[in-house]
Amino acid sequence: MGTLGKAIYTVGFWIRETGQALDRLGCRLQGNYYFQEQLSRHRTLMNVFDKAPIVDKDAFVAPSASVIGDVQVGRSSSIWKMKLRMFVWYSVSSMQQMLFGILIINCTSCLKDGTFLQSISIMAFENTSDVPNTADVWKQLCGDVNSISIGSGTNIQDNSLVHVAKSNLSGKVLPMIIGSNVTVGHSAVLHGCTVEDEAFVGMGATLLDGVYVEKHAMVAAGALVRQNTRIPCGEVWGGNPAKFLRKLTEEEMTFISQSALNYTNLAQVHAAENAKSFDEIELETMLRKKFARRDEEYDSMLGVVRETPPELILPDNIIPDKAPKAA
């Protein structure tokens, strides 16, 4: 975006701010103060100026995940939820310091009956401009300084962070490239590195800048891979700092692609669940209560035959043999 684009963006911001102020004035005149209700402004996909994420329509991004800036997500990839995140936004308002403690307990926490809560929609803030520009808050997170590209069929699991830095020790700002059919375990931190196709990053692993994970390589859980390390094909590295442990077996290599496929299927199920409207979720909750599984013996004693209504049957393509073959 050039200077003219930024100027238009800024003027648009002013106009919108004024519009919101007029709207709030109207609400005050009508005596309804719903606009003061503070809700999370979390957005799953967010742009920083013109750097908007490009997500393939077949990819699943959990509603509580944040994809910000120059990020590309390929076909049938999945980005899993962030469980709970707390923000405290400080802002200096006229004369006094105001504290906005915003607890974001975001959606997609799996409810008891297996349904998913929809993402909370965002309402107008009373003090929109008191909350610092969301773009500023997020500036350090994700693809704002460099690009992140994620291939197809990849899964980035819950609580992971994929990030590129503005500055690092070596002074190079590297883009983040994740290939296709990669499995990135829970709470992994990937920082300005390259992960090739069908690699595996274990849970809680940390990959620092300039790490290169080759095809079919594996980073063990909890490993810390130091800067500019290259993990060759078919090897497992683990520990802090990560060292070569052993070679991967053929079986494990096939498991990596199988794992990616499993997650792709699971993501489809989650995406379908997340796309449900509030009414559908309510209906299913009601049905689940009604058709809650009783003791079979008890049922047979009574002579009751219970059938599961079709709404409650989850698609079974999670199970590997039943999964449709990936093209």
Partner 1 sequence: MAVSATVIGALLGLGTQMYSNALRKLPYMRHPWEHLLGMGLGAVFVNQLVNWDAQLQRDLDNMLEKAKAANERRYFEFSIF
Residue span 131-170 as binding mask against partner 1, x where in contact by CB under 8 A, dash where not: --x-------------------------------------
In angstroms, give the least distance from the CB of 41 to partner 1: 17
Count of residues that bind partner 1 according to CB under 8 A? 13
Rounded CA Rg of the chain: 23
Task: Identify the helix (H) or strand (E) that includes residue 313.
Answer: none
Closest CA to 225 of 248, 250, 199: 199
In angstroms, give the least distance from the CB of 138 to partner 1: 16
Half-sphere exposure of 290 (CA within 13 A, CB side): 12
Give the nearer residue to partner 1 in terms of CB position, either 5 or 239. 5
Q: Is the Cα torsion angle 117, 123, 125, 126 positive or negative in sign?
A: negative
In angstroms, give the least distance from the CB of 137 to partner 1: 13
Residue span 117-136 as binding mask against partner 1, x where in contact by CB under 8 A, dash where not: ------------x---x---
State the Cα–Cα distance between residues 62 and 156, nearest whole angstrom: 11
In angstroms, give the least distance from the CB of 20 to partner 1: 10
Instruction: Identify the residue among 92, 105, 122, 169 touching partner 1 (CB under 8 A).
Output: 92
Task: Pick out residues in 5-24 that bind partner 1 (CB under 8 A).
Answer: 10, 13-15, 17-18, 21
State the Cα–Cα distance between residues 243 and 231, nearest whole angstrom: 9
Closest CA to 114 of 314, 275, 309: 314
Give the nearer residue to partner 1 in terms of CB position, either 23 or 296. 23
Give the nearer residue to partner 1 in terms of CB position, either 131 or 205. 131
**What are the CA-CA distances from residue 266 to residues 82, 250, 270 (Å)?**
17, 24, 6
State the Cα–Cα distance between residues 87 and 91, nearest whole angstrom: 13
Helices (runs of H) and strands (runs of E) counted in the chain = 5, 22
Residue span 95-114 as binding mask against partner 1, x where in contact by CB under 8 A, dash where not: x-------------------
Q: Which two tokens stand for residue 227?
A: 């800067």
In angstroms, give the least distance from the CB of 31 to partner 1: 22
In angstroms, give the least distance from the CB of 18 to partner 1: 5
| Residues in touch with partner 1 (CB under 8 A) | 10, 13-15, 17-18, 21, 92-95, 129, 133
